Amino acid sequence: MAKTQKSYTPEFKQQIVELYNSGGTSYPQLEREYGVNRSTISGWVKQLSPIRVSEGETVTLKEYKALQKEIQHLKIENEILKKATAIFAKEQ
């Protein structure tokens, strides 16, 4: 038999992370109170906790990884455009 996997809303995940980051609630307390596995909560905290980038600016690990992926995609696009420009310059 296949296990059914629980799914949680982004709002619920963020609420749990905020409770943990506020310092008043530990993993075991959150686990008991909300019925969510400790390793699941730990993963949410790693992904959704804010990282200070500069003065007054923060991003989450998830946002940071998305930005890195976008940068890599843009670098590839730039290389393609440079090669295409060189090819068209030779033709003229």
Given a contact cutoff of 8 angstroms between Cβ atoms, the answer to whether 65 and 37 are in contact is no
CA-based nearest residue to 44, from 55, 56, 60: 60
pLDDT of residue 2: 58
Q: Does residue 78 sit within a domain?
A: yes
Assigned domain for 3 exists:
no
> Can you tell me the mean pLDDT for 14-39?
91
User: Is 41 within a domain?
Assistant: yes
What CATH code is carried by the domain that includes residue 75?
A: 1.10.10
* Mean pLDDT lowest among 6-15, 46-55, 76-85: 46-55
Which residues face 57 on adjacent strands? 54
- Please check whether residue 4 lies inside any domain of the structure: no
pLDDT in tens, 43-74: 999 888 888 888 888 888 888 889 999 999 99
Say how many domains are in the chain: 1
29 is a domain residue: yes
What range defines the domain where residue 44 resides? Answer: 10-91
Q: What is the DSSP letter of 24?
A: S
What is the mean pLDDT of the segment spanning 8-36?
A: 91
The tokens for 41 are: 């909560």
Decide if 27 is inside a domain. yes
Say if residue 14 is exposed, middle or buried (CB neighbours under 10 Å; 0-12, 13-18, 19+): middle
Amino acid identity for residue 63 in this structure: E
